Amino acid sequence: ETSLLSQSTGFACHNIRSNDQRYSIMSGQEQVSLASLSLQQINQLKLQLEEEIEALTKNYQALRMASQRFSDARIALSDINSKSEGKAVLVPVSTSLYVQGKLSECSKVTVDLGTGYYADMDAKRAEAFYKRKVDLIKKNAEGVEKMLESKKQNYQMTADAMNNKVRAMQAQQAQAAK
């Protein structure tokens, strides 16, 4: 007996016994058997789960990319030290345009706080900031990953219930044709 719970929509799918082909789904506090739903209702649920899986996947990917950007910034920051002063570097002006520059005052850096805000910080404080950001994003990504796995399991159970319903309908039609 397995039980699956979705944390984001309030739906919980329970696979009571897969051999008996009995499935149920909870919406809020009300429990409804998947077997009692029409094929169209099961299909709607399946489509909803597909959309949620797609949205969660995009969210997860965005979090992973953000985590990587902050990790890269932290690594770049650790490479800068007092010996780096006067060193030639390429400074990004846009995503595809760089200009030559020289490092100066390496003990202070400008940190992108997000949404267009920047702050001047000393290097140690900036490194701690980036570490906190990476840790927070990783924690959020883990939560999204758990929800994604739950949705995938719910989707599979819904697809199984739909296939069982179609097979039952086909068997019923074959019996009626005899």
Say if residue 20's pLDDT is above 60.
no
Q: Per-residue pLDDT for 18 more than 60?
A: no
Alpha helices, DSSP H, located in 81-122: none
Query: Between residues 60 and 154, which one has the greater pLDDT?
Result: 60
What's 31's DSSP letter?
Answer: E
Distance between CA atoms of residues 92 and 72, nearest Å: 15
The CB-side HSE value for 4 (13 A sphere, CA atoms) comes to 24
User: Which pLDDT score, from 0 to 100, does residue 25 have?
Assistant: 52
* Alpha-carbon span 132 to 138, nearest angstrom: 10
User: How confident is the model over 102-126, as pLDDT tens digits?
Assistant: 988 888 888 988 888 999 999 899 9
Predicted confidence at residue 22, as pLDDT, reads 44
**Percent of the chain having pLDDT more than 90?**
51
pTM: 0.70
Distance, C-alpha 49 to centroid of its chain? 14
The residue length of the chain stands at: 178
Task: With a cut of 80, say whether residue 12 has pLDDT above it.
Answer: no
Q: Would the pLDDT of 3 be above 90?
A: no
Place of tokens 């697809």: 159
15 in Cβ contact with 142 (< 8 Å): no
Cβ atoms of residues 77 and 109 within 8 Å = yes
**Distance separating alpha carbons of residues 53 and 59, to the nearest angstrom:** 10
Q: Mean per-residue pLDDT for 120-144?
A: 94
The whole-angstrom separation of Cα 37 and Cα 168 is 13
Using an 8 Å Cβ cutoff, are 101 and 90 in contact? yes
pLDDT at 32: 63
Q: Residue 75: is its pLDDT beyond 70? A: yes
Separation of alpha carbons 45 and 11, rounded Å: 10
